[in-house]
Structure 1
Amino acid sequence: MSETHKAILQKANEAITRGDYEGFLAFCTEDTRWTFVGETVLDGKQAVREWMAATYKEPPRFEVHRLIADGDSLAAVGEITLKDETGKATRSAYCDVWRLRDGKLADLQAFVVDARREDESPAREG
């Protein structure tokens, strides 16, 4: 089951990087729920569709460093690069914790933080 869940997420992410957002959504349950911890919650495929249309002006780039599966849960740890409203690329580190149901992505808890290296960060006052 673990390898199957990893393959599902990998195929879904491949669809996103091709800009095939409907292809990605085909891997999600109708009642999928995405929680961006500390930010927002998206309930249902339509809410995710609208969020993707607003957020992914260009397809994101993923670097998945690790996939960890246990039962119906799958954690993906990596980095995602998105272009903001001005066209500037922004890189974030993430840990996505997915719950799968009937072979589809049913629930997401996403932990996302700015991934600028220390030398790129604003100077700290001290």
Structure 2
Amino acid sequence: MSERNKAALQNANAAIRRGDNEGFLAFCTEDVQWTTVGGETLDGKQAVRQWMGANYTTPPQFTVTDLVAEGDLVVAIGEITTSDEAGNEVTSAYSDVWRFRDGRMAELRAFVVER
């Protein structure tokens, strides 16, 4: 199960890199909860869809340096570059902790630190 969850996250991340938000969301449960620790929490696929539409107008560029799976958790550690409202690139270190349910991503706790 852990390897299957890792593969699902890798495929979901590939969709984000391509700018395919709906492809990413296909890996999420309808009631997915996306929490940026110290920031906002998005409840449900529609809220995540709206956030991605507003914040990922240009697909983020990111690398995963470590990917660890145990039980229903998958942890991705890496670096991500996004664009701010002025179009400037912002690079951050991140760690995403995903909880899977029935093979789909159900909960995210994202730790993001701007560099």
Q: TM-score range by the shorter chain?
A: over 0.9
What's the counterpart of residue 12 of structure 2? 12
How far apart in 1 are the matches of 2:114 and 2:85? 16
User: What amino acid is aligned across from residue 95 of structure 1 in structure 2?
Assistant: S
**Which consecutive aligned stretches of 4+ in structure 1 deviate over 6 angstroms post-superposition?**
none
Instruction: Considering Cα pairs closer than 8 Å and 6+ residues apart, tell me whether 1 or 2 has the greater RCO.
Output: 2
Secondary structure of 2:15's aligned partner: helix
What's the counterpart of residue 94 of structure 2? 94
How far apart in 2 are the matches of 1:100 and 1:62? 21
What's the counterpart of residue 61 of structure 1? 61
TM-score normalised over the length of structure 1: 0.89
- Deviation digits for residues 63-114 of structure 1, max 9, x if unmatched? 1000111100010000111011221111010010000011100000000001
> Unpaired segments of 5 or more residues in structure 2?
none
What's the counterpart of residue 35 of structure 1? 35
TM-score normalised over the length of structure 2: 0.97
Shift of 1:3: 1.3
The percent identity for this pair of structures is 63
Considering only CA atoms, is the larger Rg found in Structure 1 or Structure 2? 1
How far apart in 1 are the matches of 2:71 and 2:48? 25
How far apart in 2 are the matches of 1:7 and 1:91? 25
Quote the RMSD (CA, aligned, Å).
Answer: 0.7
- Deviation digits for residues 2-25 of structure 1, max 9, x if unmatched? 211111000000001101000100
